[in-house]
Structure 1
Amino acid sequence: MHREPNRPPARRRTRTAARVAVGLVSLLVLVGTGIASTMMTSLLTGLHTSDALDPGGPRSADGALNILLIGLDSRKDQDGNQLPKEILDQLHAGDGTEGGYNTNTLILIHLPAGGGRASAVSIPRDDYVTVKSIPGYTHAKIKEAYGLAKYYAEQGLAKQGVSGAELETKGREAGRKETLDTVRDFLDVPIDRFAEVNLAGFYDLATALGGVEVCLNHPVHDDYSGANFPAGRQTLNGSQALSFVRQRHGLDNGDLDRTHRQQAFLASVTHKLRDAGTFTDLGKLQDLIDTARKDVVVSAGWDILSFAQQARNLTGGNLEFSTLPVQGFEKVNGQEVNKVDVAQVRAAVRTAFGMTAPAPPSPSVRASSTIDVRNATGKNGLAATVAQALAPFGFRTGDLRNLASTTSSVAYGTGATDDASSAAKLLGGLPVSQDTHLPRGHVRITLGTGFALPAALGPHGADSPPGAPSSPPAPPPPPQGGTVDGGGVPCVD
């Protein structure tokens, strides 16, 4: 597997996670307040837009709206220029050489048709997921999809003579498109709109707000992030806010607890915007508008004026945050990643959004191909488990064996195209390709490092086939924590 060129050191990357998300929700709250249309028109005339969201792609039905918030860990402006040193110093972002293009914040907000309580799900940034359009990759951490796609797109564009701001713009469009496609495929729900903000956007918006109140269940002291706060409610300035949302060390569940900090901070921001008279202070309002023009990118064709009424749920505090589940942690090619059960994640999204769950796979759809399973996970018996899980769908068991570490995939021989696609979907959306060396009617399934059997395929564990000797139970998945209520100033760890 390739590695992202110029990938910043891990500690520096993790320090910036979640700093930028407040800008995205602030923008949505801004347009949902019913402020004068002339001022909104002034905002829209200078706002950056993106064509990365496929206009012909799937959309929510019946007037519901799904909005992906993308927080980009970048120390560059929209043209690819390095942020000034004085800004980097205030961001505690190093000298600017550490930053890449990871999406360290991914939140999908669902606004139901006809009003009602809005829901937001946070996608843990280290979830190891399928990617489709990045050369040499079948899987990656979800946060890396943007930067990897941008890098490889720019390699091709540079050979065509594209350079400077145009290269940066087109590279970012490729990164946005890959992120949107990856999230949509992972969660299996439509994305109707998106908004993106970079690292500077968080600082600018937090400064414009003049401090935000937060609440901690316990006192914290962390030398890495600079977080040094007592328990209880307190108001943080811009610099302190950065420390609050970036702390990972010293928290029981690391990044997952930091995600709850991020959610709580967003809830506190919306609370302040609603209750502190921000939108009656023309000076503060103009600061927010100027910041949005400079730091925020939204999907093209978004009629934000019409959207304002629907967004009132955000300003009213009628919003609930949750974090999508992970099964555990492991190392893949030297990187720590989150193991995920795709079926479990999709079910959690549909529950949070009040959507009808998809019907379970039906054995009445019969396949006829023989499956040869290659197990490269290091988990004994997983090849047999997968073969037995697919047997009710008509797949015949062929050759089962173990392999050295590799990535998950499905390949097919002549006459097995449809069965290969069915197997790939049942196993969580694995990439599919033809292999002319396979016998007719055969499908080869490779279970790569990080693969886990989707829960929908049956009750058998992923580590051993039915009937195998019992083994100690697997450790429970890491706690995700409860939901975070967006109606005030929630207390978190």
Structure 2
Amino acid sequence: MQRAAVPPPVYYADEDYDAPPMRESPGRAWRALGWVSIALSVVLVIGSLTAYGFWRRLDGRIDREDVKGRLGENRPAKLNDATNILLLGSDSREGENSRYGVEAGRRSDTTILLHISPGGKGAIGLSFPRDSMVSIPECETDRRTVPARFGMINSAFAEGGPACTWRTIEDLTRIHIDHYVEVDFSGFTRVVDALGGVEICVPRKIDDPRAELHLEAGRQTVRGQQALGYVRTRYGFGDGSDLERIKRQQAFMASIVKKATDSSMLTDPGRVYKFLEAIASSIRTDEGMTLSVMQELATGLRGISAGNVRFVTVPVQAYPQDRNRVQFDKARAEPLFAAIREDNTVPEPEPPPAKKGPPPVQPAQVKVGVYNGTTSSGLGKRTAEQLADRGFDVVKVGNADRTYEKTAILYGTGAKRQAERLAIAVPGHPPKPWAKAKPGQVYLVIGADGAKLRGAPPMPKVAGEVRADQDICAAG
């Protein structure tokens, strides 16, 4: 080990700075999916309500359930100002839903985590395939304790209700969930009708008597019962798998968001109120989703555009024990979960280059070694991954030989401009030369004060994502 030449001394675990960076089949078709998109729409357009003073009347129509006391103690911490809402599509046959057949209980055939970035600058809907095999924690209901088990993700709702699904998603993703919203069949049809129908694109003619669905090929608008048949049919679309169905449902949700956020609708008080009245009569949510919470959320979302709303699916792979089931592909899913967890602030613009002198170098020209000088396990690796996502050439990740109070950016001969570029990405730590450093290289030593990167990490690209502003035929 060698001592750094600048006070206070900084120790490194390894001087081998040239070492490479250390980077520590289809399931069953869903029976019911797309009506949960209505829950997404209520979150995205409820801000319009502030203009018409109908909050309290609509609020009294919303059915609420107290679930917070059933979420347990070992919950993920709320790390930031983002809002995460669990959206559930219920296939309950109670009350007016009895026309769809007789089945006991209520199941969730759709589970989506809606993540809204701070300031309402964007939203992402993350779908969880219902046939995913996962670990489900012990859950409490009004009548009994449901033991922990391994099974299909949608069984959490069937056996333990929304609180159990809430706990399960938090355990799987380590993302703190703030609220949940549940929509059933009848609620779906009411809201689609209140919108005046939703545009879809059908690749070929559909005749499915089981779903009471008969559609011509091409672009068209569907309403209430026809829309419900479209989102429930298992025949005539692709291979009938979960993943094929999710893709189609995401296109449907995108179309709903596009129409619900259209300026012609938002400037028509009568249409907005009719739409929101249908929503209020169609959802169930947690008691924490109060009037004041909705108003605060609405304020943050005012002005969001369809182009800033995305839909993706948790990456999965075949479940070896059963070809009709899938399991999370952890190598691809974990970066997605981490990006959502760490969405802390609206990305700040990088400062413009000084008027005199050369512009900052590109991140790819910065060779940086990252060293963890704290007791927080994995901090160096996580920071290195965030730097790599931003284009920096991370050539080493390691641990310092002791803990440090202050984070430092050090550089070798000829690397001053590269260190200054790193300091733009990791502000608050002026670069300092280090006589023992390798020429041309930069070192980030993370101390107790942390190494917060400027802005939020970029969201990983997910194959097959759907954006709410894209052409419906292109999405479908």
Q: Which band: TM-score by shorter chain?
A: 0.5 to 0.7
Q: Contact between 1:270 and 1:317, CA under 8 Å: does it hold in 2?
A: no
The percent identity for this pair of structures is 30
Normalising by structure 1, report the TM-score.
0.58
Tell me if 1:83 matches 2:96: yes
**1:353 Cα offset (Å):** 6.8
Cα deviation, residue 37, structure 1: 5.7
Point out the more displaced range, 176-185 or 24-33: 24-33
Q: What amino acid is the match of 1:482? A: G
Match of 1:190 among 176, 183, 199: 176
Asked whether the 8 Å contact 2:198–2:221 carries over to 1, the reply is: yes
Contact residue 31 and residue 234 of structure 2 kept, 8 A: no
**Inter-partner Cα distance in structure 1 for 2:152 and 2:269:** 42
1:73 corresponding residue in structure 2: 91
Contact preservation (8 Å) 1:210, 1:238: no
Asked if 1:139 is matched to 2:154, the reply is: no
Query: Aligned pair in 2 of structure 1 residues 130, 20: CA closer, same or farther (>3 Å)?
Result: same
**Matched residue, 2:10:** none
Does residue 32 in structure 1 map to residue 47 in structure 2?
Answer: yes
Pick closer, same or farther for the CA change 1:136–1:65 going to 2, 3 Å.
closer
For residue 33 of structure 1, give the secondary structure of its aligned residue in structure 2: helix
Give the deviation of 1:27 after TM superposition. Answer: 1.4
Alpha-carbon distance between aligned partners in 2 of 1:35 and 1:233, rounded to the nearest angstrom: 34
Q: Alpha-carbon deviation of 1:237?
A: 1.9
Residues 281/321 of structure 1: CA separation in 2 closer, same or farther (3 Å cut): same
How far residue 112 of structure 1 moved from its aligned partner, in angstroms, is 1.5
RMSD: 3.3
Report the Cα distance in structure 1 between the residues aligned to 2:328 and 2:64, rounded to whole angstroms.
32
Larger radius of gyration between Structure 1 and Structure 2: 2
Please report how far the alpha carbon of residue 226 of structure 1 lies from its aligned counterpart in structure 2 after TM superposition.
Answer: 4.4
Matched, 1:349 2:337: yes
**Structure 1 position 320 matched with structure 2 position 310:** yes
When residues 142 and 120 of structure 1 are mapped into structure 2, their CA distance, relative to the original with a 3 A threshold, is same
Matched residue SS, 2:326: strand
How many residues were matched structurally? 325
Tell me, in whole angstroms, the C-alpha distance in 2 between the residues paired with 1:84 and 1:320. Answer: 30
In 2, the alpha carbon distance for the partners of 1:69 and 1:148 equals 17
Among 97, 100, 103, which residue is 2:108 paired with?
103
Which residue number corresponds to residue 443 of structure 1?
A: none
Q: Give the secondary structure class of the aligned counterpart of 1:107.
A: strand
Letter in 2 for 1:128: M
Measured against aligned partners, the alpha-carbon deviations of 1:393-427 in whole angstroms (never above 9, x if no partner) come to xxxxxxxxxxxxxxxxxxxxxxxxxxxxxxxxxxx
What amino acid is aligned across from residue 149 of structure 2 in structure 1? T
Q: More relative contact order in 1 or in 2 (CA 8 Å, sep 6+)?
A: 2
- Contact 1:19 1:199 (8 Å CA) reproduced: no
* SS of equivalent to 2:96: coil
Are the structure 2 counterparts of residues 100 and 338 from structure 1 closer, same or farther at C-alpha, using a change threshold of 3 Å? farther
**Structure-1 residue corresponding to 2:233:** 247
Partner of 1:49: 64
Deviations 1:438-487 (A, max 9, x none): xxxxxxxxxxxxxxxxxxxxxxxxxxxxxxxxxxxxxxxxxx95100112
Contact 2:30 2:245 in 1 (8 A): no
Tell me the equivalent position of 1:200: 186
Amino acid corresponding to residue 115 of structure 2 in structure 1: H
Q: Is this contact kept in 1: 2:87–2:181, CA < 8 A?
A: yes
Q: Is the 8 A contact 2:52 2:269 kept in 1?
A: no
**Quick check: 2:29–2:241 contact (8 Å CA) kept in 1?**
no
Structure 1 residues 84 and 196, CA, compared in 2 at 3 Å: closer, same or farther? Answer: closer
Q: Which runs of 5+ in 1 are unaligned?
A: 1-10, 77-81, 150-174, 364-479
Runs (5+) with no aligned partner, structure 2:
1-26, 140-145, 345-375, 382-461
Q: Distance in 2 between matches of 1:362 and 1:128?
A: 32
Partner of 1:148: 159
Assess, with a 3 A threshold, how the Cα gap between structure 1 residues 481 and 117 changes in structure 2: closer, same or farther: same
Distance 2:303 2:176 in 1: 20
